[in-house]
């Protein structure tokens, strides 16, 4: 059982989903449709409302937006998409004021004993977890491995050819974002006694390198795809030329350079959802159309 009590003894009636237009968030919103709960989304882009669902458009760092989004809410799915936790202060204050049941999406790369994390992306998750705990919010933390949906970043290259070029990255147990969403829904809807941990490590079933992922995607597409690792400096120049944010580019490259190979494969998706984690081969098959040019 978690050491700290959560704030819900009954199932929530109104859930806020942050990052609701993103890979994980939209899967959560979709899954919550089949449950008897009111859902509100928060993202900068607006989503059309429907019965039982409303959208708040605004920034997670804007106190007025966050206050409006949290009004009447009794459970929150929280992501923190920024590379710095300083702008989270108003959000933390608003969350503390209502003491809701909080599910935070973090990273399996967080190394608890380390004084400093491997790269800025992991550091922000470690810092955010510490801030949420420090504020007495008793979050249920879902630490996710590399999301399979990151593969969507290869779509432009694969619509143009059969080679994926980019920085190499450590081997990890890539996890399907649908499994992360299903785990989040289970955690959001659970009563206190139904969660056996404060923190879950959500992984896919097998450790994969970038090259393994490209091979599996190629098998699903019926094409002989190839991964070609690009040195950091060249990858940096290309990403900046594509108009990507410099701080993000440097954080991604630091992750590719400093994040160690993972050996972690868990059954925590199944513990929360009752279903084993999907393979990347399955993800590739289900999303093949996104990488295939229409004739
Ligand atoms: N990718 C991975 O491998 C991985 C692994 C572990 C953990 N995570 C965590 O999982 C989170 C979700 O991943 P994802 O792939 O679903 O992300 P995503 O597709 O990039 O979606 C990000 C979401 O955050 C919203 N957003 C961004 N900046 C915002 C801001 N300032 N204020 C309000 N909303 C904002 C975006 O919507 P708008 O643009 O409409 O605002 C979008 O809904 C990541 O942010 C990361 O913290 C990711």
233 part of a folded domain: no
pTM over 0.85: yes
pLDDT above 60 (res 227) = yes
Q: Does residue 16 line the site of ligand 1, with CB under 6 A?
A: no
Per-residue confidence (pLDDT) for residue 8, from 0 to 100: 56
pLDDT in tens, 151-202: 999 999 999 999 999 999 999 999 999 999 999 999 999 987 889 999 999 9
232 part of a folded domain: no
Give which of 260, 153, 273 is closest to 202, Cα–Cα: 273
Q: Does residue 88 line the site of ligand 1, with CB under 6 A?
A: no
Q: Residue 74 belongs to a domain with what CATH number?
A: 3.40.50.720
pLDDT above 90 (res 143) = yes
Q: Does residue 146 line the site of ligand 1, with CB under 6 A?
A: yes
224 CA distance to ligand 1 centroid (A)?
31
Query: For the purposes of burial, counting CB atoms within 10 Å of the CB of 262, is it exposed (0-12), middle (13-18) or buried (19 or more)?
Result: middle
251 CA distance to ligand 1 centroid (A)?
15
247 part of a folded domain: no
pLDDT above 50 (res 234) = yes
Identify the residue with better confidence: 236 or 6: 236
162 CA distance to ligand 1 centroid (A)?
28
Per the prediction, the chain carries an average pLDDT of 94
CB 288 within 8 A of CB 215: no
226 CA distance to ligand 1 centroid (A)?
28
**To test ligand 1's pocket by mutation, which of 30, 43, 57 has the most ligand atoms within 8 angstroms of CB?**
43
pLDDT in tens, 39-90: 999 999 999 999 999 999 999 999 999 999 999 999 999 999 999 999 999 9
Percent of the chain predicted with pLDDT > 90: 92
100 part of a folded domain: yes
**To test ligand 1's pocket by mutation, which of 81, 87, 269 has the most ligand atoms within 8 angstroms of CB?**
81
216 part of a folded domain: no
181 part of a folded domain: yes
91 part of a folded domain: yes
Distance CA 53, CA 272 (A): 24
90 part of a folded domain: yes
255 CA distance to ligand 1 centroid (A)?
17
pLDDT above 60 (res 6) = no
pLDDT above 70 (res 25) = yes
* Mean pLDDT, range 9-25, rounded to an integer: 93
Confidence of residue 295 (pLDDT cuts 50, 70, 90): low
Q: Does residue 108 line the site of ligand 1, with CB under 6 A?
A: no
Q: Give residue 62's Cα distance to chain centre.
A: 21
Token representation of residue 216: 């599996």
Q: Does residue 60 line the site of ligand 1, with CB under 6 A?
A: yes
Please tell me the total count of domains within the chain.
Answer: 1
Domain that holds residue 51: 14-145+176-203+265-277
């Amino acid at each position: 059982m978690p050491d700290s009590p959560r704030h819900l003894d009954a199932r929530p009636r109104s859930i806020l989903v942050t990052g609701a237009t993103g890979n994980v968030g939209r899967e959560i919103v979709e899954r919550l449709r089949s449950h008897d709960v009111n859902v509100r989304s928060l993202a900068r882009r607006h989503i059309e409302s429907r019965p039982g669902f409303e959208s708040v458009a605004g920034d997670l760092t804007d106190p007025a937006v966050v206050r409006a989004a949290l009004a009447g809410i009794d459970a929150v799915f929280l992501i923190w998409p920024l590379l710095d936790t300083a702008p989270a202060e108003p959000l933390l204050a608003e969350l503390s004021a209502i003491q809701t049941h909080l599910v935070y999406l973090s990273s399996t790369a967080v190394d608890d004993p380390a004084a400093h994390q491997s790269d800025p992306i992991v550091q922000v998750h470690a810092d955010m977890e510490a801030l949420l705990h420090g504020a007495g919010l008793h979050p249920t933390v879902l630490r996710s491995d590399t999301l399979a949906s990151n593969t969507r970043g290869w779509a432009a290259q694969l619509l143009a050819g059969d080679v994926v070029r980019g920085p190499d990255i450590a081997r990890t147990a890539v996890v399907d974002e649908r499994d992360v969403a299903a785990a989040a829904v289970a955690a959001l809807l659970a009563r206190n006694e139904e969660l056996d941990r404060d923190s879950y490590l959500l992984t896919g079933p097998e450790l994969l390198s970038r090259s393994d992922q490209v091979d599996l995607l190629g098998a699903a597409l019926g094409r002989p795809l190839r991964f070609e690792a690009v040195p950091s400096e060249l990858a940096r120049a290309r990403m900046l030329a594509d108009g990507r944010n410099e701080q993000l580019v440097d954080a991604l490259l630091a992750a590719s350079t400093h994040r160690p190979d993972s050996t972690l494969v868990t059954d925590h998706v199944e513990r929360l959802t009752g279903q084993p984690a999907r393979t990347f081969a399955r993800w590739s098959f289900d999303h093949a159309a996104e990488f295939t040019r229409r004739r």
